Amino acid sequence: MRRCKIGHPVKGLITIDPYEYQAKFLQDVSLLRLILKSRQTGISQISALEALHDALYNTRYVVLFVSKDKDAAVNLLAYVKTAFDEGCPRPDGLKVTKYNEGEIRFNNGSKIKSVAATKNTGRSFAASAVYMDEAAFPQWAERIYQAIKPTVSTGGKITILSTPDGRCNLFYLLWEGGIGTGYSRHQIHWSSCPSYYKPEERAAGIPPEECVWYKANRPDYTEQVWASEYDCDFVQSGLPVFKDSDVELVFKSELDFEEALPGGEYYTFWDIGRHRDATVGTTYRVLRDPVTGNLRKRIVFWERFEGLPYPKIAEAIDRRAKAYPGKHAVESNSIGDPVISMCNEYIEGQNTGSKSKNDMITALIFDIENHVLESPLIRQLRSELMAYQWDDRKLVQDCVISAAGASINSSAGRRAGIIVSDGRGASPLATTSTPQDRAAALKAMLGKAREGQK
């Protein structure tokens, strides 16, 4: 391998002298390997050399490279061809019999194929080794993974490598052990690369963040881009909405769900599940901290249903409305309105389109960042908050949306001085009124609302 030459993006053609982390990768004979890497650390080139070596020294050895786009696929195969043309070690008489931008074949029956990720990539393709490059990014990563997984069952190898791109993709799930077992793991931070953090700087005890390359290049990147391109940071690379430390402060072991109190100020929001999604209802109580006098919001009741028929969901909404009088809202997109029509209690429909949803999430951000929200430990909600990011299309988010709806409604209710609507116009319950006055007004309003349902 040390006699091989390969193209370098800056230095041009160079003779390979593996860095320490590259050597460890080459020495890893595991059938399943994961590599979390920074950009431009030479792992893609080393993978190409490894694949070439295996194809040259094994008969009918088939390698499949899967890249996030066509340009990346072409570049990977170019690494292979350059190394071969520049005289890498090989058995006597071994020649290339076919070469184009997508495939190279040898006269020992081996071949290396390099393709862009599509929904059909890997189907009906028997490979001895598969390399998925930048696996956090392709749209069809999960389908491709399922297609190539049988490779291992016949003794083949799978190597999956990528820079991070948040926590809602195949690569993150594999790295964290959410799916897949038996993987060896290699993490290659930018500071491991001698091209960035010079050996003489390391030897002199200069911290990585004080090295010449870091100080020259770090200002050119946002926190999110830096986290993805160089810092191997799943959390920041996905533009997380909530800080883990803030989320942890929401959940308090001494709290439990509680029954409604007379005159209590309650806001409930339901996110209605579609297809396989869960339905979640979250109830807030707005209260004043007895020590600081600051307003707080507490989750006093919460339910999550999977696979529950819509009539049963309507019954659950009615039960909650009776148990916790106040403002009750259901997201009215799609199935929401039909569910509302099944309810006997007065329930408001609330749009959760793109603009409204952003406003809801912003309200929840405010409540969490300012430590206004507190709750008993709800593991599902905690998990969703930790993983939530603005691009939430692949995320389980039912609990987050339900809490966000309760957050924005409780904030709007406080500003307007109301806690419930009778459906014919908002009725003010001044936030400075006594509990007795508020309870009496609330009772009258609820009676009026129920009368309108008869």
CATH of the domain at 83: 3.40.50.300
Q: What is the pLDDT of residues 267-305, one digit of tens each?
A: 999 999 987 789 999 999 999 888 888 889 999 999 999
Which comes out higher in pLDDT, residue 240 or 163?
163
375 and 290, same domain (yes or no): yes
pLDDT above 90 (res 157): yes
- Same domain as 250, residue 169: no
Last residue of a domain, one of 161, 188, 215: 188
Does 169 lie in the same domain as 48?
yes
- 334 within 8 A of 323, measured Cβ to Cβ: no
In this structure, the answer to whether residues 393 and 273 fall within a common structural domain is yes
Average pLDDT over residues 127-135: 94
Same domain? 146 vs 279: no
| pLDDT confidence of residue 317 | 97
Lowest mean pLDDT among 87-91, 148-152, 193-197, 242-246: 148-152
Lowest mean pLDDT among 70-79, 174-183, 363-372, 440-449: 440-449
pLDDT at 452: 38
Confidence grade of residue 423 (pLDDT, cut at 50, 70, 90): very low
Is 389 found in the same domain as 317?
yes
Q: Is position 198 within any domain?
A: no
The strands making up 265-271's β-sheet, listed across from edge to edge, are 348-350, 327-331, 265-271, 279-288, 295-305, 373-374
Residue 223 lies in a domain: no
What is the predicted pLDDT for the residue at 5?
A: 79
Report the CATH number at residue 346. 3.30.420.240
What domain range includes position 36? 5-188
Domain assignment present for 231: no
pLDDT reported for residue 436: 46
Beta bridge partners of 90: none
State yes or no: pLDDT of 451 exceeds 80.
Answer: no
Q: Is the dihedral of CA 173, 176, 181, 187 positive or negative?
A: positive
Q: Chain centroid to CA 83: how far?
A: 37
Do 168 and 268 fall within a single domain? no
**What is the per-residue pLDDT for 200?**
98
Q: Which of 189-193, 244-248, 379-383, 423-427: highest mean pLDDT?
A: 189-193
Condensed to tens digits (0 to 9), the pLDDT of residues 367-420 reads 999 999 999 999 999 989 988 988 787 788 999 999 999 999 999 755 544 443
pLDDT > 90 fraction of the chain, expressed in percent and rounded: 64
Same domain, 167 and 260: no
pLDDT at 9: 67
The residue to which tokens 């403002």 are assigned: 327
The pLDDT of residue 439 is above 60: no
218 inside domain: no
Instruction: Report the pLDDT value the prediction gives residue 20, as an integer from 0 to 100.
Output: 95
Does some domain include residue 193?
A: no
Asked if the structure places residue 14 within a domain, the reply is: yes
- Shared domain for 10 and 108, answered yes or no, is yes
Name the residue with higher pLDDT: 308 or 420: 308
Please check the confidence at residue 261 and state whether its pLDDT lies above 90.
yes
Residues 132 and 266 in one domain: no
The region of weakest confidence among 106-115, 129-138, 424-433 is 424-433
Q: What pTM does this model have?
A: 0.67
Over the chain, what is the mean pLDDT?
87
- Considering the domain architecture, whether residues 256 and 170 belong to the same structural domain is answered as no
Mind listing the pLDDT tens digit for each residue in 78-122?
A: 999 999 988 888 999 999 999 998 999 999 999 999 999 998 888
Cβ contacts of 129 within 8 Å, gap of 6 or more: 51, 54, 61, 62, 63, 64, 151, 156, 157, 158, 159
Give residue 420's pLDDT.
38
Any domain includes 257: yes
pLDDT at position 140, please? 86
Band of pLDDT at residue 1, cut at 50, 70 and 90:
low
pLDDT at 448: 42
Res 391: pLDDT? 78
- Give the domain-ending residue among 166, 188, 210: 188
Burial of 382 (0-12, 13-18, 19+ CB in 10 A): middle
How high is the pLDDT of residue 414? Answer: 58
Report how far residue 295's alpha carbon sits from residue 411's, in angstroms, rounded to the nearest whole number: 11
48 pLDDT higher than 80? yes
* pLDDT attached to residue 2: 61
Same domain, 181 and 252: no
Total count of domains within the chain: 2
Predicted local confidence at residue 206, as pLDDT: 97
Q: Is residue 195 part of a domain?
A: no
- pLDDT at residue 252 greater than cutoff 50: yes
- Domain's final residue, options 188, 214, 238: 188
Task: Give tens-digit pLDDT for 326-340.
Answer: 999 999 877 888 999
